[in-house]
């Protein structure tokens, strides 16, 4: 695949045909304002997210720095034909694209990467020449939708596993082709401690982690040796990092007894064995039996790595089953849960149950005669009507210090200057509540990250992870629930609410 | 993101740690045989695939050509530490990797890309030095799993839409970040006629296709103009390619009437309008009403493009509803169905319902003393036991010329030389049937595609598409059903069946 396919031509054809329409009308350089937001938190079927985790911003800014129309890209457009066989794009338009087909004229205001976010809230506001802003849509959606989706799933897996659990991302082989690195990054932002992905882990300043595969044991067996020899060979090479996969032959009869033998040998040589891994079968039951056997052999501190189609519900179920069943085998449930490591793959990196985020990129205002004119789109369903105009975004913390609502206001409003605020439901009239600003804290959520060029330097992974962890802690426990979570409020200020309703009325009467 | 993350380090850590174990034991250069296959056809919940479509091979071979350990990659491994803080990889192993850390020693035999494939059948056989073969696993799975998954979904969408329907891939914005181009390619192999993806379409020799977005109409409205002016401007620039999105304001009251006005203007100027697009609401009902209005205005030949969360079931439902409801509005259902164009996005490029293929990469034999020793893995479930040894793969066509089974044999078997064959179920003993070879045709499915370097040159998209279409035509209609399809038989020869059972018995008695 050529680099041509990863640059500015990573776009939908209609962005280009619309840009030419704007060019012909002379409105291509009119300042326009687009917003990126998603309409609903992921719904995985039996369980639903109560919040999202914003991710993908840095990769987007990195892409924007180099994506532009060069000779090759223009050549591609020059080859496009109308149905009548004439050139689809005029040479004057292509000349303009050669000079301006980049993101040099845009300003981006965005929520910080890693933060907890909510539906309807503009996560990025994109301002600049209409044609340039339009041109960013496809790549922006492609990058932000996916990483936000995966960081959200990863955050839920962290919620299920608990704050102290060790979570390993092993999803690369089942991630979408080409999306493995983005998935790894998002998984690490949202809650995974480490990843098996060698290149991307290094890029993010981490060392990749992993165990071994069944193939190692099988290869030894095919060569006339056995599981024990395979384990021994592994331990010989990695005496301080020995994690043994115990389910190639038979977990209880062969795998664990062989692992224990090798652990004893390691111990005699002064090394501490790290763990075993279970990759099939009834993971809760087998981990109890493994703990029982390991404890008896004096390896109560050895980790038990679980893998095989894990997600937040499966982890929750494993915890529950262990709490119920472990005592019957004389195993301390809490101690067992503490030593578990979760190897999570397919279901995290594909966001199983909802494999795409419904994030959209909508024009909300266009400048005319120096003034911002709000834009709207009226669909059949009132919930889908856009929140029009140039806006600011705020997070409201209540007396307890917990995040209690996100608030959208007009750009020239500063709710911090008010004594009390009225929070309006975005679509249901009459659904509103008053808030005493004096006992609350209001935090502006947007910051400029791009002004013709990148303003925000790449931030260390640890900064994003810490930001995410802090934000989750500030949520109401009801919003953090894995199933049927409480709805976090996203509200409009009175002035924004009035603007929206005036526009809807005007449009409806106009028909 | 650096190119480092897209090269040979696009791998799981354990491939490298296992390679070092093999190196220490001196078995790293022993010839080994791995197979890539998937265990079950995709199950989307309410509906299930009866077959798969193999895709991703050419991108894999392209990646293999350049992926190798260079100075930078070795530097990454050199920085890895054990828990005791020592170097994880020895300098002798790294020196070997510097010389041999590539795929120069491998041979790949594979099913041709675009072909219809089935569970349990080795789609690729990878033969070569154990460490090199192991090193290919992650990238191979990442690339083949995904494209096969998407080509399969796309093929089903083609089945639902019918052979003559025009299908447009518009999934780029909702595809996983970085996977948009692979998704486009697979969608085009499996059934989509065109894609909106500009760069990748060009790469594949097609011109991207598209319409326009709501934002164009909204921008015009914000600037004090209206939908009609927006449509007119588009038609002015693209008089031979006018497709108008009619649902920004109100489909029946505004969108279609305005589109008809503009179509009339185009017609007067001697141009043929192409179509309208519906992107929300009850698509079946609205397309009937649209057809009614367009027919009346003399535009019976104008296409009706449908989009918005389409998949095979939704398309099927739209067809069904149109057949039932169209006559009531005086609209010819067949004529309407013929003019529909399907814009398919999210649900195709994410394989909604099953967003990952369960493809695996398993060692099935290792050479020792010049002889291939079969390898096996015995899990709890008998269906998951590997088919061991070096094998050949055949497709059996019955008297009608339809594909009736895929057959796995030992490598030295040629079933074409037999008079009759016994086909064994891969796991259920006693489930077998006899076939008279003389009335059948047996086709070998594997061909060498890599022998230290690429043997198979990239093939034009049209070749892969044609191959896929032909193969689908050779399936029994029951296997092509969208819901609850008939199970296509995948069988073992008597000799392979015996080998498998002997190995299982030996392993079970060995415990």
To the nearest whole Å, the CA of A121 is away from the closest chain B CA by 19
Q: Are the Cβ atoms of A177 and B142 closer than 8 angstroms?
A: yes
> What does the alpha-carbon distance between residue A32 and residue A366 come to, in Å, rounded to a whole number?
4
Nearest Cα residue in chain B from A62: B1
To the nearest whole Å, the CA of B344 is away from the closest chain A CA by 13
DSSP for A261-303, written as a single string: HHHHHHHHTT----EEEE-SS-HHHHHHHHHHHHHHTT-TT-E
To the nearest whole Å, the CA of A345 is away from the closest chain B CA by 11
Helix (H, G, I), strand (E, B) or coil at B137: helix
Instruction: Match 């300098």 to its residue by tokens.
Output: B91
Instruction: Give whole-number Cα distances, B81 to A181, A237, B349, in Å.
Output: 22, 13, 39
Q: What is the pLDDT of residues A226-238, one digit of tens each?
A: 999 999 999 999 9
- Is-contact A173 B141, C-beta < 8 A? yes
How far, in whole angstroms, is CA A464 from its chain's centroid?
A: 12
Q: What pLDDT is stored for residue B437 in this prediction?
A: 86
Q: What pLDDT is stored for residue A430 in this prediction?
A: 86
List of chain A residues whose C-beta atoms are within 8 Å of the C-beta of residue B376: 218, 221
Q: Are the Cβ atoms of A208 and B13 closer than 8 angstroms?
A: yes
Nearest to B176 among A4, A172, A175 (CB): A175
Nearest to A271 by CA among A242, A294, A240, A244: A240
Q: What is the dihedral sign for C-alpha A315, A318, A324, A330?
A: negative
Nearest to B253 among A253, A350, A511 (CB): A511
Q: Are the Cβ atoms of A142 and B175 closer than 8 angstroms?
A: yes
Burial environment of residue B419 by CB neighbours within 10 A (0 to 12, 13 to 18, 19 or more): exposed
> What does the alpha-carbon distance between residue B205 and residue B458 come to, in Å, rounded to a whole number?
13
Instruction: Match 């719904």 to its residue by tokens.
Output: A43
Copy the structure tokens of residue B18.
């296992």
Q: If you ran DSSP here, which 8-state letter would residue A485 be given?
A: P
ipTM here: 0.96
Q: Are the Cβ atoms of B219 and A81 closer than 8 angstroms?
A: no
Q: Are the Cβ atoms of B18 and A222 closer than 8 angstroms?
A: no
Q: Are the Cβ atoms of B198 and A2 closer than 8 angstroms?
A: no
> What does the alpha-carbon distance between residue B418 and residue B297 come to, in Å, rounded to a whole number?
67
To the nearest whole Å, the CA of B149 is away from the closest chain A CA by 9
Nearest to A14 among B15, B137, B213 (CB): B213
Instruction: Give whole-number Cα distances, B403 to B116, B400, B471, in Å.
Output: 10, 9, 8
Q: How confident is the model at residue A380 (pLDDT cuts 50, 70, 90)?
A: low
Nearest to A138 among B173, B223, B350 (CB): B173
List of chain B residues whose C-beta atoms are within 8 Å of the C-beta of residue A209: 13
Interface residue of A43, A74, A177 to substitute, partner B, most B CBs within 10 Å: A177
- Is-contact A227 A217, C-beta < 8 A? yes
Nearest to A166 by CA among A274, A56, A49: A274
Mean predicted confidence (pLDDT) in A354-365:
96
Nearest Cα residue in chain B from A38: B174
Q: Are the Cβ atoms of A180 and B84 closer than 8 angstroms?
A: no
Nearest to A147 among B82, B177, B373 (CB): B177
Residue B33 phi, psi dihedral angles, 5° rounding: -125, 120
Nearest to B235 by CA among B201, B254, B208, B263: B263
Nearest Cα residue in chain B from A86: B240
To the nearest whole Å, the CA of A396 is away from the closest chain B CA by 31
Q: Are the Cβ atoms of B178 and A176 closer than 8 angstroms?
A: yes
Instruction: Match 């760069």 to its residue by tokens.
Output: B199
To the nearest whole Å, the CA of B289 is away from the closest chain A CA by 16
Query: What is the helix, strand, coil percentage profile of chain A, to 5?
Result: 45, 20, 35
- Is-contact B14 A211, C-beta < 8 A? yes
Nearest to A357 by CA among A43, A64, A110: A43
Beta bridge partners of B128: B32
To the nearest whole Å, the CA of B227 is away from the closest chain A CA by 11
Nearest Cα residue in chain A from B217: A377
To the nearest whole Å, the CA of B447 is away from the closest chain A CA by 23
> What does the alpha-carbon distance between residue B242 and residue B266 come to, in Å, rounded to a whole number?
9
List of chain B residues whose C-beta atoms are within 8 Å of the C-beta of residue A223: 27, 30, 366, 368, 373
Q: What pLDDT is stored for residue B485 in this prediction?
A: 97
Copy the structure tokens of residue A187.
């998984």
Nearest to A181 among B178, B219, B248 (CB): B178
Q: How confident is the model at residue A510 (pLDDT cuts 50, 70, 90)?
A: low
Nearest to A60 by CA among A25, A30, A36, A84: A36
How far, in whole angstroms, is CA A420 from its chain's centroid?
A: 35
Mean predicted confidence (pLDDT) in A39-48:
96
Beta bridge partners of B363: B34
How far, in whole angstroms, is CA B396 from its chain's centroid?
A: 23
Nearest to B325 by CA among B341, B317, B421: B317
> What does the alpha-carbon distance between residue A487 and residue A180 come to, in Å, rounded to a whole number?
32
Q: If you ran DSSP here, which 8-state letter would residue A6 be given?
A: G
Helix (H, G, I), strand (E, B) or coil at B498: helix
- Is-contact B114 B55, C-beta < 8 A? yes
Nearest to B203 among A1, A17, A175 (CB): A1
Q: What is the pLDDT of residues A171-214, one digit of tens each?
A: 999 999 999 999 999 999 999 999 999 999 999 999 999 988 99
Q: Are the Cβ atoms of B170 and A12 closer than 8 angstroms?
A: yes
Distance separating the N- and C-terminal Cα atoms of chain B: 49
Q: What is the pLDDT of residues A114-135, one digit of tens each?
A: 999 999 999 999 999 999 999 9
Burial environment of residue B92 by CB neighbours within 10 A (0 to 12, 13 to 18, 19 or more): exposed
Nearest to B138 among A172, A211, A240 (CB): A172
Q: Are the Cβ atoms of B198 and A16 closer than 8 angstroms?
A: yes
To the nearest whole Å, the CA of A22 is away from the closest chain B CA by 9
Nearest Cα residue in chain A from B350: A355
Which domains, from first to last, does chain B contain? 3-67+102-151+354-509 (3.20.140.10), 210-343 (3.20.20.70)
> What does the alpha-carbon distance between residue B37 and residue B488 come to, in Å, rounded to a whole number?
16
Collect all residues with Cβ–Cβ distance below 8 Å to A341 and sequence separation of at least 6. Answer: A165, A166, A167, A168, A275, A303, A304, A305, A306
Nearest to A352 among B249, B355, B375 (CB): B355
To the nearest whole Å, the CA of A10 is away from the closest chain B CA by 6
List of chain B residues whose C-beta atoms are within 8 Å of the C-beta of residue A59: 1, 177
- Angle B441-B445-B451 from CA coordinates, rounded to 5°: 145
> What does the alpha-carbon distance between residue B115 and residue A84 come to, in Å, rounded to a whole number?
35
Q: Are the Cβ atoms of A14 and B203 closer than 8 angstroms?
A: no
Query: What is the helix, strand, coil percentage profile of chain B, to 5?
Result: 45, 20, 35
> What does the alpha-carbon distance between residue B311 and residue B156 come to, in Å, rounded to a whole number?
9
Report long-range pairs for B411-416 (Cβ below 8 Å, ≥24 apart): B411/B372, B413/B493, B413/B495, B413/B496, B415/B442, B415/B493, B416/B442
What does the radius of gyration of chain A's CA atoms come to, in whole angstroms? 27
Copy the structure tokens of residue B322.
């149109």
Interface residue of B44, B153, B188, B198 to substitute, partner A, most A CBs within 10 Å: B198
Helices of type H across B272-376: 283-296, 312-325, 333-339, 346-349
What does the radius of gyration of chain B's CA atoms come to, in whole angstroms? 27
Q: Are the Cβ atoms of B237 and A24 closer than 8 angstroms?
A: yes
Instruction: Match 């947007």 to its residue by tokens.
Output: A446
Q: What pLDDT is stored for residue A1 in this prediction?
A: 44
Mean predicted confidence (pLDDT) in A53-80:
97
To the nearest whole Å, the CA of A447 is away from the closest chain B CA by 23
Mean predicted confidence (pLDDT) in A149-168:
97
Q: How confident is the model at residue A379 (pLDDT cuts 50, 70, 90)?
A: low
Nearest to B168 by CA among B313, B353, B285, B307: B307
Nearest to A203 among B1, B281, B357 (CB): B1
Average pLDDT, chain A: 95
To the nearest whole Å, the CA of A216 is away from the closest chain B CA by 7
Percentage of residues of chain A with pLDDT beyond 90: 92
> What does the alpha-carbon distance between residue A168 and residue A151 come to, in Å, rounded to a whole number?
14
Interface A:B, Cβ pairs < 8 A = 373
Q: What pLDDT is stored for residue B1 in this prediction?
A: 44
pLDDT in tens, chain B (511 residues): 458 999 999 999 999 999 999 999 999 999 999 999 999 999 999 899 999 999 999 999 999 999 999 999 999 999 999 999 999 999 999 999 999 999 999 999 999 999 999 999 999 999 999 999 999 999 999 999 999 999 999 999 999 999 999 999 999 999 999 999 999 999 999 999 999 999 999 999 999 999 889 999 999 998 999 999 999 999 999 999 999 999 998 999 999 999 999 999 999 999 999 999 999 999 999 999 999 999 999 999 999 999 999 999 999 999 999 999 999 999 999 999 999 999 999 999 999 999 999 999 999 999 999 999 998 877 667 777 889 999 999 999 999 999 999 999 999 999 999 999 999 999 888 899 999 988 899 999 999 999 999 999 999 999 999 999 999 999 999 999 999 999 999 999 999 999 999 998 887 765 4
> What does the alpha-carbon distance between residue A337 and residue A317 come to, in Å, rounded to a whole number?
12
Q: What pLDDT is stored for residue B493 in this prediction?
A: 96
Interface residue of B219, B228, B230, B382 to substitute, partner A, most A CBs within 10 Å: B219
Report long-range pairs for B433-440 (Cβ below 8 Å, ≥24 apart): B435/B396, B435/B405, B439/B398, B439/B399, B440/B396, B440/B397, B440/B398, B440/B399, B440/B404
Report long-range pairs for B324-331 (Cβ below 8 Å, ≥24 apart): B325/B284, B325/B285, B325/B288, B326/B288, B326/B291, B329/B288, B329/B289, B329/B292, B330/B292, B331/B288, B331/B291, B331/B292, B331/B295
List of chain B residues whose C-beta atoms are within 8 Å of the C-beta of residue A362: 214-215, 218
Element (H, E) at B407: strand B403-410
Q: Are the Cβ atoms of A82 and B183 closer than 8 angstroms?
A: no
Collect all residues with Cβ–Cβ distance below 8 Å to B506 and sequence separation of at least 6. Answer: none
Helix (H, G, I), strand (E, B) or coil at A405: strand
Choice among A341-355, A378-392, B35-49, B95-109 with the minimum mean pLDDT: A378-392
């Amino acid at each position: 695949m050529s680099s041509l396919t990863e640059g500015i031509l990573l776009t939908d054809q209609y962005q280009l045909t619309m840009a030419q329409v704007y060019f012909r009308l002379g409105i291509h350089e009119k300042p326009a304002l687009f917003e990126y937001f998603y309409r609903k938190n992921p719904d995985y079927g039996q369980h639903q997210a109560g919040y999202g985790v914003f991710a993908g911003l840095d990769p987007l800014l990195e892409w924007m720095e180099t994506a532009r129309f060069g000779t090759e890209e223009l050549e591609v457009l020059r080859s496009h034909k109308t149905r009548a066989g004439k050139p689809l794009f005029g040479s004057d338009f292509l000349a303009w694209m050669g000079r301006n087909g980049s993101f040099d004229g845009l300003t981006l205001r965005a929520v910080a990467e890693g933060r907890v976010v909510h539906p309807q809230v503009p996560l990025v506001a994109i301002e600049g020449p209409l044609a340039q802003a339009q041109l960013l849509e496809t790549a922006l959606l492609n990058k932000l939708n996916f990483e936000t989706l995966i960081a959200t799933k990863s955050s839920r897996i962290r919620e299920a596993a608990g704050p102290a659990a060790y979570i390993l991302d092993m999803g690369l082989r089942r991630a979408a082709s080409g999306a493995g690195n983005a998935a790894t990054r998002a998984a690490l932002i949202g809650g995974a401690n480490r990843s098996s992905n060698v290149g991307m882990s290094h890029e993010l300043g981490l060392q990749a982690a992993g165990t071994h595969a069944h193939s190692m044991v099988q290869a030894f067996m095919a060569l006339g040796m056995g599981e024990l020899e395979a384990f021994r060979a592994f331990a010989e090479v990695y005496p301080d990092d020995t994690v043994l996969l115990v389910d190639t032959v038979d977990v209880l009869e062969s795998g664990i007894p062989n692992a224990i033998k090798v652990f004893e040998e390691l111990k005699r040589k002064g090394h501490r064995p790290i763990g075993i891994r279970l990759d099939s079968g009834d993971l809760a039951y087998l981990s109890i039996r493994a703990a029982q056997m390991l404890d008896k052999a004096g390896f109560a501190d050895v980790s038990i790595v679980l893998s095989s189609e894990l997600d937040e519900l499966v982890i929750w179920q494993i915890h529950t089953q262990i709490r119920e069943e472990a005592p019957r085998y004389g195993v301390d449930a809490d101690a067992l849960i503490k030593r578990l490591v979760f190897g999570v793959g397919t279901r995290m990196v594909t966001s199983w149950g909802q494999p795409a985020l419904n994030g959209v990129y909508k024009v909300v205002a266009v400048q005319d005669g120096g003034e911002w004119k709000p834009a709207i789109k009226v669909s059949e369903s009132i919930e889908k009507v856009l929140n029009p105009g140039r806006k600011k975004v705020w997070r409201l913390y209540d007396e307890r210090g917990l995040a209690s609502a996100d608030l959208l206001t007009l750009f020239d409003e500063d709710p911090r200057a008010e004594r009390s605020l009225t929070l309006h439901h975005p679509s249901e009239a009459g659904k509103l509540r008053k808030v005493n600003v004096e006992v609350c804290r209001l935090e502006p959520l947007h910051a400029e990250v791009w002004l013709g060029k990148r303003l925000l330097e790449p931030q260390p992974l640890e900064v994003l992870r810490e930001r995410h962890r802090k934000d989750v802690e500030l949520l109401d426990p009801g919003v953090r629930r894995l199933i049927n979570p409480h709805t976090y409020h996203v509200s409009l200020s009175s002035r924004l609410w009035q603007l929206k309703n005036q526009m809807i009325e005007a449009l409806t009467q106009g028909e």
